[in-house]
């Protein structure tokens, strides 16, 4: 498989980052939703630390993913996709990128404004994004929590659209984001095909 994206298919780098980020998001969300109500024990501190370290890892992966996307480009919309659908898909992708940055950054800001230190897997310290400020901490916590639920809603829509293309439209939208599955319709029919 090509590393770089082609006009009809996502390359290996985009695919690995896409699916790795999905797995990481599920893990981070599961930790985040569980940790807030844990009793005050060392296990709670450990879970918060893991949530934050994984969240920072995700932030770095999203930055790499966006840089790669800008460098490697994106395939053209699958042949037959109406313009309005392609437009909505692009806007959804932009919103997903926005949230994938806003959620970890607001977590980092909340952490800083609450006066907590921040480490990445106990390996190095990260700087505070602000001084201690309770008002700012509340705003950042709101962005973190509501941003997360908005992300859940958008991802559900996005995944439903991909499945709709696969099951109802029977086109190549989903398979071109997967390794080596049989190809469906993604390019214009060749001359010989269009004559038959």
Report, in Å, the least distance between residue 3 CB and ligand HEM.
14
157 binds ligand HEM (CB under 6 A): no
- Tokens 């696969």 label which residue? 166
104 binds ligand HEM (CB under 6 A): yes
Report, in Å, the least distance between residue 193 CB and ligand HEM.
22
136 binds ligand HEM (CB under 6 A): no
Q: Which residues ranging from 44 to 73 are in contact with ligand HEM (CB under 6 A)?
A: 51-52, 55-56, 58, 69
Taken in order 35, 47, 103, 89, the sign of the CA dihedral is: negative
Picking from 182, 150, 142, the residue whose alpha carbon sits closest to that of residue 166 is 182
145 binds ligand HEM (CB under 6 A): yes
Picking from 110, 117, 107, 87, the residue whose alpha carbon sits closest to that of residue 151 is 107
* Nearest to ligand HEM of 74, 189 (CB atom): 74
* Nearest to ligand HEM of 26, 189 (CB atom): 26
- Tokens 């390996």 label which residue? 123
CA distance 195 to 117: 67
29-34: long-range pairs with CB below 8 Å, 24+: 29/148, 29/152, 32/148
Q: How far is CA 16 from the centre of its chain?
A: 12
Binding site for ligand HEM (CB under 6 A): 14, 18, 21-22, 25, 28-29, 32-33, 36, 51-52, 55-56, 58, 69, 75, 89, 93, 96-97, 100, 103-104, 107-108, 110-111, 118, 141, 144-145, 148, 155, 158-159, 162, 173-174, 176-177
């Amino acid at each position: 498989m090509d590393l770089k994206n082609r006009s009809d298919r996502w390359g290996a780098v985009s695919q690995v980052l896409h699916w790795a980020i999905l797995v990481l998001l599920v893990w981070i969300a599961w930790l985040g939703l569980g940790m807030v109500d844990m009793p005050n024990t060392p296990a709670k501190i450990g879970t918060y630390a893991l949530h934050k370290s994984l969240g920072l890892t995700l932030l770095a992966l999203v930055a790499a993913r966006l840089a790669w996307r800008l460098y490697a480009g994106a395939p053209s919309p699958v042949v037959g996709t109406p313009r309005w659908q392609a437009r909505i898909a692009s806007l959804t992708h932009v919103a997903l990128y926005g949230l994938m940055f806003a959620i970890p950054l607001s977590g980092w800001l909340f952490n800083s404004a609450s006066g907590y230190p921040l480490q990445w897997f106990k390996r190095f310290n990260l700087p505070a994004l602000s001084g201690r400020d309770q008002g700012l901490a509340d705003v950042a916590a709101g962005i973190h929590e509501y941003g997360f639920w908005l992300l859940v809603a958008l991802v559900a829509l996005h995944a439903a659209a991909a499945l709709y293309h696969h099951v109802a439209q029977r086109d190549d939208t989903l398979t071109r984001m997967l390794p080596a599955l049989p190809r469906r319709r993604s390019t214009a029919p060749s001359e010989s095909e269009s004559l038959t």
